[in-house]
């Protein structure tokens, strides 16, 4: 079982807005990207962060986001190269529209995932998965992770026991915070003065036995009973 984690993706960059592949290159946050980081700060302001280690990708866009979202803890931010974005080789800086037709691959909030797997000279999903397994296995306790779109998907899928095959099932996007604890994933979105929480339930156990299924059903029922107020507030 992995420790409790919060996962943040960096805010929108100028290359994000242009539809460019970034990988190991960097682009600064747009005004919207800074606003998204401020939303993450608002979400995290409701959480006692004192017991959490704070780990960030060394890439500029991630650290720029961390400095905004975790401003009150900025002195405690440590970088870890294993949180960097998947490398895309020869496709760094290329427009996605140059690499595939709009209907060739399924789009996600983090772009067409297949492009990251196929990039010539890129890292590929197998190597990214190995990197993420090594990273999450090294965590010593509750942690806040500031990373990137594709790496975030692989990290969360790894923690939930789904591996690389679960990447496409992960929710994505910017300006949100994902909370993972005891096999439950929550997508935390700040909407004005209210916080909307969507919960995603996965079984970590390999065997989907009756006890595990009942456990998840009970949690989901409890969430539904409490979610009406959140929905109305939003």
Catalytic residues, by residue number, are 10, 85
Task: Dihedral sign for Cα 179, 144, 23, 36, please.
Answer: positive
- In whole angstroms, give the CA distance from residue 192 to residue 74: 24
- In whole angstroms, give the CA distance from residue 81 to residue 96: 25
Residue 191's alpha-carbon distances to 18, 33, 58, 144, 197, in angstroms, are 26, 16, 29, 21, 10
**With contact defined as beta carbons under 8 Å apart, do 91 and 116 qualify?**
no
Neighbours of 46 (CB within 10 A): 9
DSSP 81: G
Label each residue of 120-131 as H, E or C.
Answer: CCCCHHHHHHHH
- In whole angstroms, give the CA distance from residue 147 to residue 158: 15
Contacts of 124 (CB under 8 A, 6+ apart): 86, 117
* Side-chain-facing half-sphere of 186: CA atoms under 13 Å: 18
């Amino acid at each position: 079982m992995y420790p409790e984690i919060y996962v943040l993706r960096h805010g929108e960059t100028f290359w994000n807005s242009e539809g460019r592949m970034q990988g190991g290159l960097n682009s600064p946050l747009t005004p919207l990207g800074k606003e998204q980081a401020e939303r993450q700060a608002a979400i995290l302001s409701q959480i006692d962060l004192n017991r959490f280690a704070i780990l960030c990708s060394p890439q500029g866009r991630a650290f720029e986001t961390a400095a905004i979202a975790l401003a009150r803890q900025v002195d405690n931010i440590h970088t870890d190269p294993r949180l960097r974005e998947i490398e895309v080789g020869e496709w760094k800086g290329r427009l996605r529209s140059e690499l595939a037709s709009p209907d060739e691959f399924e789009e996600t909030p983090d772009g067409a995932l297949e492009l990251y797997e196929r990039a010539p000279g890129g890292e590929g999903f197998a190597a990214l998965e190995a990197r993420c397994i090594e990273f999450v296995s090294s965590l010593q306790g509750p942690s806040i992770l500031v990373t990137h779109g594709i790496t975030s998907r692989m990290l969360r899928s790894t923690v939930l026991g789904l591996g690389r095959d679960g990447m496409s099932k992960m929710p994505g996007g910017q300006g949100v915070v994902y909370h993972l604890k005891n096999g439950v994933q929550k997508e935390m979105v700040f909407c004005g003065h209210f916080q909307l929480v969507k919960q995603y339930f996965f079984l970590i156990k390999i065997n989907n036995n009756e006890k595990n299924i009942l456990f998840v059903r009970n949690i989901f029922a409890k969430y539904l009973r409490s979610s009406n107020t959140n929905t109305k507030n939003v």
